[in-house]
Structures are given as C-alpha cells and as structure tokens.
Amino acid sequence: MNSVDFPASVIRLENGLTLIHQEIAATPVVVADVWVKAGAITEPTEWAGMAHFLEHMIFKGTDQLPPGVFDYAIETQGGMTNAATSHDYAHFYITIAADMLPQTLPYLADLLLHAAIPADEFSRERQVVLEEIRQAQDDPDWLGYQAMSELVYQDHPYGRPVLGTAEILQQRSPEEMRCFHQAHYQPDKMTVVIAGGIPLEPTVAMVKHAFRGFASPPPCPVAAIAPVPTLPGVRREILHLPRLEQSRLTMAWLAPGIDQLETAYGLDLLAAILAEGRSSRLVRELREDRQLVQDISAGFSLQRDCSLFTIQAWLDGKDVDRVEAIVCDRISELVANPITEAELARAKRLLCNDYAFSTEAPGQLAGLYGYYGTIANADRCLSYVPTLQRYTSAQLQSLAHQYLTPLRYVSTILRPA
Amino acid sequence: MTASLLQAPRLHRTVLANGLTVLVLENPVADIVSARLFIRAGGAFEAPHQAGLVSFLMGLLTKGTETLSSMAIAETVESVGASLGTDAAADYSVISLKTVSADFPEIFALAATLLRQPSFPHDEIDLERRLTLQQIRSMQEQPFTIAFNRLRQDMYGEHPYALPGIGTEASVSAITQQALVDFHRQHMRPDNVVVTIVGRIGPEAALAQVEQALGDWQVPAMPPPALTLPSVTTTATCSMVAQDTNQAIVMVGYPAAPVKHPAYAALKLINTYLGNGLSSRLFVELREKRGLAYDVSAFYPTRLGLSQFVAYIGTAPENTATALESLRFEVERLQETVLSDDELQAAKNKLLGQYALGKQTNAQIAQLLGWYEILGLGVEYDQQFQDMVAAVTVLDAEAVAQEFFHTPCISLLGPEEFVAPVAQAQA
C-alpha cells in the first residue's frame, strides 16, 4: 500500500481498520487523529444533525469510562483533545506528550467504539447543541453560507447544515443514535492517524490492541442516494438580515469531487490567480484600484461527491450588482485570454509553499492524511505539488471554460434588513 | 516534552551596536524560516484622541516605502509565495514573515525596509481609512464583540486599554499623515526593536542578514518614550445592550494583575482551572452538567498594565439571570473555597502541558521568544514562568482570588425582555 515517496506508512489491520503512521523524530509531541466516514452525508434526511450530535455524545463516556473522565485524563496530562464534524467525516483527536500516548489512546478508542450514549446525558447535551445552533444563527456569515449551500446543492446532503435543526433534534432518541453509531463507527470506515515522536512498531501494537471489539453493525436507516447536483443556469437569492453593517456577495460554481483530483487542484490555482493576495486579479482591481469592495476572496473546497468554487466579496449594498457583473467578466476573460507565465508561476509558488507551511506540525500532517484517507487515499495528497507544477496556461484556460461559466452559478447576497 | 527553549543550546541572543536585539534559534527540521520584528510600541502608547493610530500605522507599513509602491511590495512577497503581515497589540507591534529558507534573505530585507522607510502615501492612507472605518462598523455584527467592547470600556475608563486596538470612527477619521510620521519617528528605532528568527538557518547567517539590513540604523540621541499608564479605579458596573439575538451574551470582568505582578502566575493557573478546555470548571459545571451553553470560558490576557479576568457565556435568553449568577458564583467562590491539591496539580499539568504544545512550529517559537523580550521579561522568562506556575500553592490561589475577584463589571447583551430585568436587578 505504500508508495515510494510517501513518508507515512499505511497499514490495513485485519479487522479492516486503516492505520497511517509517520514518525517525526525531532518532536516530543504526538497526535492521534481518528477519522470516521460518518459525516452528515451518511444521515437519512429525517436524522439530519445526528452525525454532529453524536460527535458531542462520544465524549459522554462508555460503561467503563464515566462522562468527563476522558477529558480530565487527557488535559491533566498536559494534552488537548477535540473533535469536528463535516459532511464527509467526523474526526476526533488528541495532542499529547509522546510518552503519554500508551495510557491515553485506549481511552479514545473506548469512547469511539463503545460510546454508551446514556439517555440523561443525551437530553442534556441536546441543550448544548441547541445553544450551538442559536449561536450560529446570530452569525450572518453562517446564515449566508447555509443559504448558498442550499441553493447550490439542492437535495444533496451537502445542502443542509451539519448542525441539523432544533425541530429534528427534538425528535431524535438515544436508541436511534446508538443505532447510527454502531452502524457507522466500524473498522472499515475508520482511519487512525498517528504522527509525531513515536516509532512505527509500538504504534501498530498499540492501535491493534486499542481498536478491537467493535459492535456488530445493526440495521440502520441509510441515507437516500443523492444525485450529484447540476446547475441549469444562474440562481440568485437575496437575504435581508438584521444588524448587518455590510453587504456580502457570494458566487458559487459546482466542481468535480475527489474522483477528479487533477481538476480540483487546477481550480485551486485559478482561485489563487483570481484572489489570493494583494497582487491577484480581483483584489488588485476591485479593492486596491477601483475600491468597490472591502475585501474579496476566492476559494476551492474539495469534497468527496462534488466540490465548490466560490468567490466572496464584502461590499457596500449599492455595488453588489456591479461587482457581480465585473466578476462574471473576469471569469470570462480567464477563458478568452491565456494566463501570463508570471501569474501562473506566482500562483504555483503560493500554493506549493502553503502546502509546505501547513505540514509543519504533527497535528497538521495528521489532519491532512486523515482527510485524504477518508475521502480518497492518504497518499493522494502527495500528488498535490507535482500536479500543480505540471499545469500549463492552456490547461487552466480549458478548465475555466468547463467549470467557471457566468451562465451557470449561484449567487447569494446578504443585505442589511 | 522540552521544558525550556533555553535548554536548547541553539538559542543565540545578540545585541547590535545600535541596541537592536536579535534572537536566533536554528531548527533544521522543515525547510521553513519564520521571523518576527517586534516594536516596543502598541496601542497603550496612544493618547485617547489617537486611538487606533498604531494599528493603522502597522497596516500602512506594507503599503509603500520611499522606493516601493504598495503593489510592488505585494508582488515581491507573493511572487515567492512568502507570507508577510503586520499586527498591533496593546503592548507591542510586530511584522511577521514566513518563507521557504532560500527566499528568506530577500523577504527579510524587504521587511526591514518596511520598518525603517515607510512613506505613508496619501492615497494609501485614504484607502486604509475607508477599509478601517468599515471594519469598525462591522464589529457591530458580532454580539460577543459588542458585549466585550462595552465591558472593556466600563473597566478601563480613560486608560488606553479601554478601546479596541482598531480605534473608533472618530479617532480613525482624524488620523493624519503627520501623526503617522511622528509616531514612527518616535517609536520605530533600533533600541526599541527585537528581531527573532527561527528555522532552517544558521545563527551566523541569520545574524549577518540582520546586520546587513538593520545594523546601520542610527539610534536617535533622545531616549525612547517611556510608557506611562493612568491608574484605573474600577467600580462595579452593569451595562446592557438590547438586541433581538437568538442567544444572550453574559460577561463578567474583574481587574487583574499585570504580567510583572507576583499574582500573575497564580491568576494564569486559576484561568486554566476555570476556563481552559473540556475539563475546566466552567465547562463542566455550566455546560456538561447543566446544558446552559455551547461556549463558556474565561480569559486573562497578559498585559504590561492592569489586565482583566473575564468569564463569559452564550446562552438562551431566558437563562440570562441563571448564567450570570452561575458565572459569578464559580469565579467568586474561589475567595472562600480552597482548591484541593489534586485540582491544583491538574490545573498545573494542563497549563504547563499546553504551554509546551504551544511551541511546535517555528512561528510559534519566534512569537513566544520575541514577545518575552519585547515586554522586558527576557527569554529566561520561558523557564521562569514554568517555575512560577509549578510553585503556586492552594493558599496562593485563594489569596489571589481574594485580592482580585470582588468588583466585577458586568456586560449583558440580548433581547430586551430577558436582559433588561437582569440589568435592573444589578442596579
């Protein structure tokens, strides 16, 4: 399974669990990051929010480990622990002194494999999740992002909030959550990444020992098969929000998922050419020269089924239509005119260095391997730099032509109420 | 875990003839060099009518020099894929850069030029002012920020820490090119600067870079301006902002020790005990046991002048009174309740462990070392801080709680029908 240049070992254990390990000799720190293919896309629609709520409940202990014991054990040994849930995954990590891993990893494994999900904790923690939803609803950028996602993804689960809704969460039961947990927290859906100051051999033994005794998966409602969305034309939505001091314009294009990684990386380059840094096209023109925006950024977010290319501007409400038209023009120019060699070289260097800068600490590396390991294969991240380097101006032009058309995109506009 | 950066024989500290301090730590692991140029001047040096001046000045450093335009500077940095940014804090300011090691000389030389020879072009001042004013207005979109700005104002009155670093609409509107030039001339001088360089670079090479770029920078004859901060008399206050938000924000703030005060380490430890992490007291009592919040925590910033100890929670509006009572109870309880030895030891392990985890990247190390040096604590403080924390006793913690946790300022934000009665009850 190991490619020649990939600095990490990828090992498939007998029970189907994937272990990714990289020793970083110079560091006294180790990160254990467990990725599970149990994000929001695995939820049936009527269970929306279950994956994220479960992430909270994992920390509520097992029959062996009362609530709070895990957090206390990790933190009083000077470590840190946390978790996150997205559409494609949930992941749980600890960062700790390397010599403490043998004592703490079994705790993490016990939580993940044998979460008890007690009924009283379930009701109490639901209040916490409802507070999380309330807090998000006071954040205009979260509201804008959700509106845009819904418009662009339609019936695909990427279109609904990972947090779920208060109405749905009120109807869920601890039994349903246990079923969801046992169905999805299975070895074939789990990747354990260990990076830092620990050699391979003890790591393998430790992980084998800790991650065993999985429950047999019960029958559990499955997510409906969601068609990959398409955009027939331009969809526009305007939201009026209270307490907003500045308008926002978000334009989004659908892009291929993990099965077309080269395309995805090319779109990363196009985003950098358009709006990464003060000398990029859109920042230079719209913020520095014409002063039509407070800020403008472009981003490409890689997801398993289908990715998203976005351009977002913070601006005065009166300039929204004008800026949207200019962005469409500049997108068309990407197709019509070749990108200069200097611009291409600049974008490549920015992204390649970003990649180097974002793999400096064990936690960053573990996150990268876990993410790729979950939505594709861990060693696929290795192709990032060489793929970027190979891109020519003509190839990018044709990518822009195929994916970034002003005829098919979504535009979400936030205006002060 | 490495206890101290000083134990590493790789740290080199040099003071140049012009008084500029250089710290170099070679770390060959990754092909990255991080550097910081710290200036001993932050928002605390601003007169009230100048609020936001330092932040504005730091933003403009990358927008033009005697020979380079804003765009030329951006192109130089971005064409090699480096990062270069500036920041202004309450007690210092900083230029930060990160490059792959081959590009370091060029980008470091640029940073030095930005520090020494900014030209503050009029058109860039106008653009920066427009962007800054909008940024100040945009703070009103964030309930937490509104509540915190109120709290800070109530606690600090005429003290420069009262205002957000970005300034106010009035003060930023009044900033002139002359004010920028004057402030730069007074404060940006070699004996007010600390340079830290951490990464794949040898100490001789790094020092040569600094000598070349900054060694001929002349020290003015006048001594650098000293920081004088007004004294603050905090009285218990309760301020309220009525907004139809989904969540209420409840904050309590207590005046707290400056960094050089003997109570500093004990307060950091109490902050860890109350507010840091999933096993902290506030998290366990208010979130885990009672489901009152998603976000509940405490913070105690490191300040040369009087600091503040703040505990806060975001909660459903109908919980406002309960949340306020519980926050105050948990903080003020420490005046009468002595922590158990286990609780104290747990807090120490957590604070020291996480302190060590905060030194993983070159940028983190460059920040920490230079920060101690610019605050006048010296790089030895990295070890001293850990020793002081280890030495705190349960009685120290109690004494510190008694000294500081008695006069809270309260800041409430949320729907009027829920928040107003709680505010009135405080009056």
Distances (CA, A) of A401 to A383, A394, B275: 24, 11, 52
| Greatest CA separation for chain A | 64
User: Which pair of structure tokens corresponds to residue B8?
Assistant: 């590493």
Give the tens place of pLDDT for each residue, A152-196: 999 999 999 999 999 999 999 999 999 999 999 999 999 999 999
Q: For residue A78, give the nearest of B243, B314, B356 by CB distance.
A: B356
Share of chain B above pLDDT 90, in %: 96
User: Which pair of structure tokens corresponds to residue A279?
Assistant: 């000398």
What are the two backbone dihedrals, phi and then psi, of residue B269, each rounded to the nearest 5 degrees? -70, -40
Give the tens place of pLDDT for each residue, A190-245: 999 999 999 999 999 999 999 999 999 999 999 998 888 999 999 999 999 999 99
Domains and CATH numbers, chain B: 11-214 (3.30.830.10), 237-426 (3.30.830.10)
Q: Do B278 and A59 touch (CB under 8 A)?
A: yes
Q: For residue B349, give the nearest of A77, A81, A362 by CB distance.
A: A77
Q: From CA A112, how far away is CA A115, in angstroms rounded?
A: 6
Q: Does residue A253 register a pLDDT over 90? A: yes
Q: Does residue A2 register a pLDDT over 50? A: no
Min Cα separation A290/chain B (Å): 10
Q: What is the pLDDT of residue B194?
A: 98
Q: How many CB atoms lie within 10 A of CB B224?
A: 17
Q: What is the DSSP code string of B2-14?
A: ---STTSTTEEEE
Site of tokens 């009283």: A120
Q: Mean pLDDT throughout B270-298?
A: 97
Helices A261-275 + A341-357 axis angle, to 10: 110
Q: What is the pLDDT of residue A26?
A: 81
Q: From CA B127, how far away is CA B322, in angstroms rounded?
A: 46
Domains and CATH numbers, chain A: 9-210 (3.30.830.10), 234-416 (3.30.830.10)
Q: Mean pLDDT throughout A326-337?
A: 97
Number of CB pairs < 8 Å for A and B? Answer: 173
Q: For residue B245, give the nearest of A97, A129, A138 by CB distance.
A: A138
Distances (CA, A) of B157 to A393, B160, B174, B250, B404: 58, 8, 21, 20, 18
Q: Mean pLDDT throughout B382-409?
A: 97
Q: Do B284 and A352 touch (CB under 8 A)?
A: no
Q: Do A140 and B141 touch (CB under 8 A)?
A: yes
Alpha helices in A26-161 (DSSP H): 50-58, 69-76, 101-114, 119-137, 140-153
Q: Does residue B4 register a pLDDT over 90? A: no
From the number of C-beta atoms within 10 Å of its C-beta (0-12, 13-18, 19+), residue B101 rates as: middle
B33 → chain A, closest CA residue: A357
Best mutation target among B34, B104, B279, B339 (most A Cβ atoms within 10 Å) is B279
Q: For residue B314, give the nearest of A59, A135, A294 by CB distance.
A: A135
Q: What is the pLDDT of residue B1?
A: 39
Q: Which residues of B touch A24 (CB under 8 A)?
A: 29
Q: Mean pLDDT throughout B82-96?
A: 98
Q: How does residue B427 score in pLDDT terms, banded at 50, 70 and 90?
A: confident
- Cβ–Cβ < 8 Å for B201, B30: no
Share of chain B above pLDDT 70, in %: 98
Q: Do A246 and B134 touch (CB under 8 A)?
A: yes
Q: From CA A74, how far away is CA A60, in angstroms rounded?
A: 14
Q: What is the pLDDT of residue A225?
A: 86
Q: How many CB atoms lie within 10 A of CB B186?
A: 15
Q: What is the pLDDT of residue A3?
A: 53
Q: Do A278 and B70 touch (CB under 8 A)?
A: yes
- Cβ–Cβ < 8 Å for B254, B237: no
Q: Mean pLDDT throughout A61-73?
A: 96
Identity of the amino acid at B195: V
Q: Does residue B8 register a pLDDT over 90? A: no
Q: Mean pLDDT throughout B208-232?
A: 95
B143 → chain A, closest CA residue: A138
User: Which pair of structure tokens corresponds to residue B422?
Assistant: 């709680």
Q: From CA B84, how far away is CA B105, in angstroms rounded?
A: 13
Q: Does residue A331 register a pLDDT over 70? A: yes
Q: Which residues of B touch A276 (CB under 8 A)?
A: 78
Best mutation target among A74, A359, A360, A365 (most B Cβ atoms within 10 Å) is A360
Q: Which residues of B touch A103 (CB under 8 A)?
A: none
Q: Does residue B50 register a pLDDT over 90? A: yes
From the number of C-beta atoms within 10 Å of its C-beta (0-12, 13-18, 19+), residue B351 rates as: buried
Q: Do B353 and A140 touch (CB under 8 A)?
A: no
- Cβ–Cβ < 8 Å for B271, B282: no
Give the tens place of pLDDT for each residue, B364-393: 999 999 999 999 999 999 999 999 999 999
Min Cα separation B131/chain A (Å): 6
- Cβ–Cβ < 8 Å for B98, A357: yes
- Cβ–Cβ < 8 Å for B215, B16: yes
Min Cα separation B330/chain A (Å): 18
Q: Do B137 and A354 touch (CB under 8 A)?
A: no
- Cβ–Cβ < 8 Å for A297, A282: no
Q: How does residue B6 score in pLDDT terms, banded at 50, 70 and 90?
A: very low
What are the two backbone dihedrals, phi and then psi, of residue A156, each rounded to the nearest 5 degrees? -70, 145
Q: Mean pLDDT throughout A122-133?
A: 98
Q: For residue A361, give the nearest of B1, B346, B360 by CB distance.
A: B360
What is chain B's mean pLDDT, rounded? 96
Q: From CA B220, how far away is CA B190, in angstroms rounded?
A: 9
Q: What is the DSSP code string of A338-406?
A: PPPHHHHHHHHHHHHHHHHHTTSSHHHHHHHHHHHHHHS-GGGGGGHHHHHHH--HHHHHHHHHHH--T
Give the tens place of pLDDT for each residue, A301-313: 999 999 999 999 9
Min Cα separation B296/chain A (Å): 11
Range from A13-17, A211-215, A222-226, A358-362 carrying the lowest mean pLDDT: A222-226
Q: Does residue B2 register a pLDDT over 80? A: no
Q: Measuring CA to CA, which residue among B26, B28, B56 is closest to residue B41? A: B56
Min Cα separation B79/chain A (Å): 5
Share of chain A above pLDDT 70, in %: 99
